[in-house]
Structures are given as C-alpha cells and as structure tokens.
C-alpha cells in the first residue's frame, strides 16, 4: 500500500467536515448524520485527535430527537436507522454518554413491522422474528438489523433479548446456499441471490454470537467473491465481515488501494464509502475491534 494514497484519503475525508460540525454526504453536498458517524469512526481509528471529532459528535447530539432517535433528516423522522451509527460514533466519547444512552433505549424499543408466519406467504423467511427496519412501520431487513446489532454490542448489550432475537432473525434470513441479500431468502420457492455488502455486514454483526458452522457457507461465498469486488462498500464490508471471523485476506490492503485508486477515474466516493474503506483497511478483526484495540 502506497502511504501517500491513504494520506490522500485521510485528507479528503477531513476536508468534508463542516464549520458548524458534522460532515457532508458527498463533495459539494450537505450534512448527513450517517456520513458524520462514519467519518468520526474512521478519523478516530486513524489517530486523529482534533476538535472536528467533538464538533461532529455534538452535532449528532444536537439533532437527536427527545425519544433518542437520530433521523436521516428533520423532514423524515420515521427514517431512524442512523441511530445505530450515532451510538457507534459516541461509543468512545465520555461527554456523549447521555445521548448514547437515550439512543440505545430508543433502539431497544424500536422494531420493524412483524406478523406470525402464514402458510401461504410468498416469502419463506420467518416474518415473526424482530429486527430493525430502514423506515418506521415497515418490515425488518438485513442491513439495518446488522447495524443495530453492532451498535448494541458496542454499547455492551450483547445479551439483551432484542439483540439475541435479531441474531436469530439474521440466521433465518441467511440464504440456503450461503450469503445474505437485503433480507429475503426464497420467494415463490425460488432462492434469491446473495450480495457481498449485505453478507459482510451480517457476518460482522454475528461474529462471536453464533457457531462458525452456522455461517460457514456464507464465509466461503464471500471468500470466493472478494477477489473480484470493485466497489467501496461491498469491498469494505466484505473485509470487515471476513476479518471478524479471522478470514481477512492477505491482500486486503492491496484491494483497498486498488479501490481508492479507482475513485480518481470515476469521481470521488461519497463520505460513508470513503470512511468505510479507511475502517476496513485498519480494523483487521471486524468493526467492533476498533473499540478493543
């Protein structure tokens, strides 16, 4: 890995901070809470100690709703999946323990929309198992559920019944031949295809909670796919997911370098993608390892 390449990525991420706190979602874009949380985590892992971290965490706290949720925007209060990311961003900051506690309490009470499994349902998964959704009053899906599990595990709630049920939900949504997609398995008896990003995220969230044999096929799927992954989020989550299970490829840094180089030819990556690549480069044992190292 060329150190100048990572320095350029670090400086690019830092340049996306806003004077009033927080980070833009993309170049010439506006504030985004998800971009802010991912940038905070990436900069912290890379040893940054500047005031931008405090200001960014402060902005996340200032925009937190009274019930603890952190919304994608003031106009979309039902879109509260960034709450999980805010918990991760506040995890290492003692001054933000109160907003983190409120966010955890909200997440433990929140749930996707669920119902008992019906014999004639087109989808094969167990619709009664609760996870978390992208938007309020909708069904739970793989990625927001995995993010919530990671946040609650970071906050020391691994043994909570909501986390354990959500882990069962993820196992239930695992495809029979391995891997995960957005959250469906079989529809009208046809198995759907897995996606690397969803698979890596689910594997990262389940690490340390389920026996390896329950996810072995998914690990093999991701190990076979990762050599051909070109996009930042798929690559980053695949590296994080494999790393969490001790399967990080030896060429991981070269994969990240190649992905960063491609951003010059196709336009700048958005802030979450850039931050996730930086995290995947440093967090050798999954996302939660950044709070242990």
- pLDDT for position 292: 83
Compute the average pLDDT of residues 129-134.
Answer: 97
Tokens of 143: 């990625």
Q: CB of 57 within 8 A of CB of 96?
A: yes
Query: What pLDDT is attached to residue 293?
Result: 63
Is pLDDT of 213 > 70?
yes
- For residue 30, the model assigns a pLDDT of 97
pLDDT at position 40 is 98
What mean pLDDT is predicted for residues 100-117?
96
The region that residue 2 occupies, defined by phi over 0 for left and psi between -120 and 50 for alpha, beta otherwise, is beta
Express each pLDDT in 218-241 by its tens digit.
Answer: 999 999 999 999 999 999 999 999
pTM comes to: 0.97
How many Å apart are CA 232 and CA 276, to the nearest integer? 8
- 28 versus 2: the higher-pLDDT residue is 28
* C-alpha neighbours within 13 Å on the C-beta side of residue 179: 22
pLDDT of residue 4: 85
Check whether 266 has a pLDDT greater than 90: no
Of 77-91, 112-126, 197-211, 227-241, least confident by mean pLDDT is 112-126
pLDDT tier, 1 (very low <50, low <70, confident <90, very high otherwise): low
Q: At what angle do helices 252-266 and 232-244 cross, to 10 degrees?
A: 170
Q: Decide if pLDDT at 7 tops 80.
A: yes
DSSP sequence for the chain: --HHHHHHHHHHHHTTB-TTSSBBSSTT--B-HHHHHHHHHHHHHTT--SHHHHHHHHHHHHT--TTS---SBTTBTT--THHHHHHHHHTT-GGGHHHHHHHHHHHHH---------TT-SB-S-TTS----SSTTS---HHHHHHHHHHHHHTT-TTSHHHHHHHHHHHHHS-TTS---SS--EETTEEPPP-HHHHHHHHHHHTTTS-GGGTHHHHHHHHHHGGG--SHHHHHHHHHHHHHTT---TTHHHHHHHHHHHHHHH-PPPHHHHHHHHHHHH-TT-GGGGGT-
Looking at residues 134-163, what average pLDDT do you find? 97
Domain covering 3-291, topology: Glycosyltransferase (1.50.10)
pLDDT band at 120; cut points 50, 70, 90: confident
For range 162-173, the mean pLDDT: 98
Quick one: average pLDDT of 249-267? 89
Check residue 84 and give its pLDDT: 98
pLDDT for position 2: 74
Q: How confident is the model over 183-200, as a mean pLDDT?
A: 97
pLDDT at 270: 97
Which of 164, 15, 152, 161 lies closest to 84, judged by CA? 152
Per-residue pLDDT reduced to its tens digit, 42-65: 999 999 999 999 999 999 999 999
Q: Is the pLDDT of residue 119 over 70?
A: yes
Distance CA 201, CA 234 (A): 9
Mean pLDDT confidence for 169-195: 97
For the segment 129-155, the average pLDDT, to the nearest whole number, is 97
Q: Which of 242, 201, 245 is nearest to 222 (CA)?
A: 242
Mean pLDDT (the chain) is: 96
């Amino acid at each position: 890995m060329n150190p100048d390449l990572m320095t350029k990525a670090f400086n690019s991420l830092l340049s996306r901070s806003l004077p009033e706190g927080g980070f833009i979602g993309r170049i010439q874009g506006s504030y985004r809470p998800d971009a802010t949380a991912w940038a905070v985590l990436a900069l912290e892992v890379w040893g940054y100690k500047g005031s931008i971290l405090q200001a960014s965490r402060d902005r996340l706290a200032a925009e937190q709703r009274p019930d603890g949720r952190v919304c994608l925007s003031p106009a979309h209060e039902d879109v509260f999946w960034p709450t999980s990311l805010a918990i991760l961003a506040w995890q290492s900051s003692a001054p933000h323990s109160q907003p983190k506690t409120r966010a955890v309490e909200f997440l433990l009470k929140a749930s996707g929309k669920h119902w008992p499994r019906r014999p004639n349902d087109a989808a094969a998964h167990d619709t009664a198992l609760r996870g978390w959704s992208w938007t309020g009053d909708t069904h739970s899906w793989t990625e927001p559920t995995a993010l919530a599990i990671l946040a609650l595990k970071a906050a020391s709630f691994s043994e909570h019944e909501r986390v354990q049920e959500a882990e069962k939900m993820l196992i239930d949504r695992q495809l029979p031949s391995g891997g995960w997609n957005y959250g469906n398995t079989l529809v009208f008896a046809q198995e759907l295809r897995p996606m690397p990003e969803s698979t890596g995220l689910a594997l990262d969230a389940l690490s340390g909670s389920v026996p390896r044999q329950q996810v072995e096929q998914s690990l093999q799927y991701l190990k076979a796919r990762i050599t051909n992954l070109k996009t930042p989020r798929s690559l980053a989550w695949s590296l994080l997911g494999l790393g969490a299970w001790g399967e990080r490829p030896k060429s991981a840094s070269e994969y990240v370098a190649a992905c960063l180089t491609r951003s010059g030819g196709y336009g700048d990556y958005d802030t979450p993608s850039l931050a996730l690549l930086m995290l995947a480069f440093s967090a050798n044992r999954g996302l939660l390892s950044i709070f242990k190292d």
